[in-house]
Structure 1
Amino acid sequence: MKRILALLCSIAMVGFIFNPSYVDAATVNPKTLLEKKFPRERVTVSKSVDLNGDNKKEHLLITDSGNFYLINSKGVIVLIDTNYYSDEEPTIHILNISTKEKHVAVTLDYLPSNTELLVYKYQNGTLKKKLSVMGDVGINISKTGEIMQLWKSHYPEGGWEIAVAHYKWNSKKDKYVGSGELPR
């Protein structure tokens, strides 16, 4: 009888230790975590990165239904945005703004040449949108996080030329500041 009781206690303790609600978020596969909570979602794009310098990774996920999720380092799943559809697979970029700050940029490509760029800053366990631009001709992102938007400036009589707008993060203003030929 004592052996059976000891065996049952051992099984109960193992079950308690390995219960998913008690597993550290850093050890769980982010795709599995999201798909377990939202069974109809299928992750198509994912990236893991430490956004706030706490040596714990945050997980960025885009699903086939066009939803953009963040799983913060505490394992909390946050829906950031919807309608992330494009002709090509969306791309997640990490912008190194400074040694202590990184931003998340997502590019959505639409054929034949349009690119939409959405840039987010990590704040209080979620992502806040800081910039949204469309490049009719394209978008270029430098390693330092400077953004170049190439767009079509149309002539009144017809035709167009390439115009270039530059965006750089201004930490004092907490926003991206544009220069050059900004779209009207």
Structure 2
Amino acid sequence: MKKVFLLICSLSIFFGLLPTNTVDAATVNPKTLLEKKFPRERVTVSKSVDLNGDNKKEHLLITDSGNFYLINSKGVIVLIDTNYYNEEDPTFHFLNVSSKEKHVAITLDYPPSNTQLFVFKYQDGTLKNKLSIIGDVSIRISKSGEIRQAWKNFFPEGGWDTAVAYHKWNSKKDKYVGSGELSR
């Protein structure tokens, strides 16, 4: 009888020490995970992608309140930035800047012609902002990851010409380097 009692006590202690609330980011729906942690948030745009080549997806979510979140492959929720809302839903783009590195770009379109672009690099389990520009004529992203920004260069006497700037990732400088007519 004593042995049975000790066995039951030992098993209850053993199973009581096991974590019961582990989160596996690969099996949990990221939208559900975010809305469970932040009940007032409603996800409007989400994408899942492997940003660092570890064969585990990171999840990018933008909510109706304009908050931009990352859920990394370990299930950690990180608020990246705020104020990501406009009349149309933001759009995610993934730039293959090298064979080992992807960047996340978000475009916010403001009709009739303005586009705001934010580009982030995945680093240390979070996203670091590497470029923020506005193309008040247009913004185009090439397959190679080069960004073309067309903007209005206004004349002092009135009117404007289209100016074009190009932004390309420089891994040695760890930033986007601009060329052409850069906006002021």
Same fold (TM over 0.5): yes
* Residue 89 of structure 1: aligned partner: 89
Letter aligned with residue 27 of structure 1: T
Give the alignment's Cα RMSD to 1 decimal: 1.6
- Contact kept in structure 1, 2:91 and 2:108, CA below 8 Å: yes
Q: Which secondary structure does the structure 1 equivalent of 2:32 belong to?
A: helix
Q: Which secondary structure does the structure 1 equivalent of 2:98 belong to?
A: coil
Q: Could you list the runs of 5+ residues in structure 2 that have no partner in the other structure? A: 1-7
| Runs of 4 or more consecutive aligned structure 1 residues displaced over 4 Å after TM superposition | none
TM-score scaled by length of structure 2: 0.89
1:168: Cα distance to partner? 0.1
Letter aligned with residue 42 of structure 1: R
Q: Deviations over 1:88-122 (max 9, x none)?
A: 11001111111100000000111221000000000
Spell out the pairing of 1:1-184 with structure 2 (5 A cutoff).
19=20, 21-184=21-184
CA distance in 2, matches of 1:74, 1:49: 14
Letter aligned with residue 152 of structure 1: K
1:87: Cα distance to partner? 2.0
Identity %: 78
Q: Which secondary structure does the structure 1 equivalent of 2:115 belong to?
A: strand
Letter aligned with residue 105 of structure 1: A
CA distance in 2, matches of 1:165, 1:73: 35
* Residue 3 of structure 1: aligned partner: none
TM-score scaled by length of structure 1: 0.89
* Residue 4 of structure 2: aligned partner: none
Aligned length: 171
- Contact kept in structure 1, 2:115 and 2:135, CA below 8 Å: yes
Q: Deviations over 1:18-41 (max 9, x none)?
A: x4x224121000000000000000
